[in-house]
Amino acid sequence: MTPDIRVQQAAFDPAAESAGLEITGAGAVATFIGLVRGDDGLVALELEHYPGMTEDALRRIAEDAAQRWALSAVTIVHRVGRMVPGERIVFVGAASRHRGAAIDAMHFMIDWLKTDAPFWKREEFADGRSGWVEERADDVEQRRRWSAP
C-alpha cells in the first residue's frame, strides 16, 4: 500500500477523496474532515509549511498507521495558505477489510498529524488581533494514548 499524501492550496472534494478509498478488498472506510472554526471572531487562518519536509512527515504518519493496522489504502490531504471559517483544512481517510482497523487508523493519523506534522498556523480576528497558534495540551494528550504499549 502506497499512501496518497498531498499538501495543497486548492480546496478538495471529500466525496471524491472518500470514493478513492473504496477499493476492492476494503470492507470499511473511515474518514475525518477538519474545518476552519469561526470561534471568537476568527476571520482567517493561514497555514504555512516547509515543502518536502511536511509531505515526508505525513507519509511517515500514514506508514506508521499501516504498520499497526491492516490497511488497504490511506489518503491524507492537507491544505495550506489562507482559509476562512467553514473551509475544509484536512482530509484523513483509511480503508481496511474491517471497520475497527479503519476507524482506529484514521483516529491515530489525525491525532499524530495534529502534533507531529510541521505546519505553522496564524489566526486573524475581526478586532485586528493576530497571532501564531500554540500547541494544545488536549492534542498532545490524544497523541500520547497511541504511544502506550
Q: For position 83, what pLDDT does the model report? A: 98
Amino acid (1-letter code) at residue 109: M
Task: List the CATH number of the domain containing 34.
Answer: 3.90.1170.40
On the CB side of 74, CA atoms within 13 Å amount to 29
What's the rounded Cα separation, in Å, for the pair 97 and 25? 6
- Whether the pLDDT of residue 111 is over 70: the answer is yes
Average pLDDT over residues 83-94: 98
Q: For position 149, what pLDDT does the model report? A: 47
How are beta strands 71-79 and 81-83 bridged, if at all?
Answer: unpaired
Number of structural domains the chain divides into: 1
Host domain of residue 129: 4-147
Q: For position 148, what pLDDT does the model report? A: 55
* Entry pTM: 0.93
- Whether the pLDDT of residue 13 is over 90: the answer is yes
Q: What does pLDDT average to over the chain?
A: 93
Q: Say whether 137 sits in a helix, a strand or coil.
A: helix
pLDDT tens, position by position, 56-69: 999 999 999 999 99
What's the rounded Cα separation, in Å, for the pair 56 and 85? 28
Confidence of residue 146 (pLDDT cuts 50, 70, 90): confident
Report CA-CA distances (Å) from 85 to 12, 36, 44, 113, 146.
15, 5, 7, 20, 30
Q: For position 110, what pLDDT does the model report? A: 96
| Percent of the chain's residues with pLDDT above 90 | 81
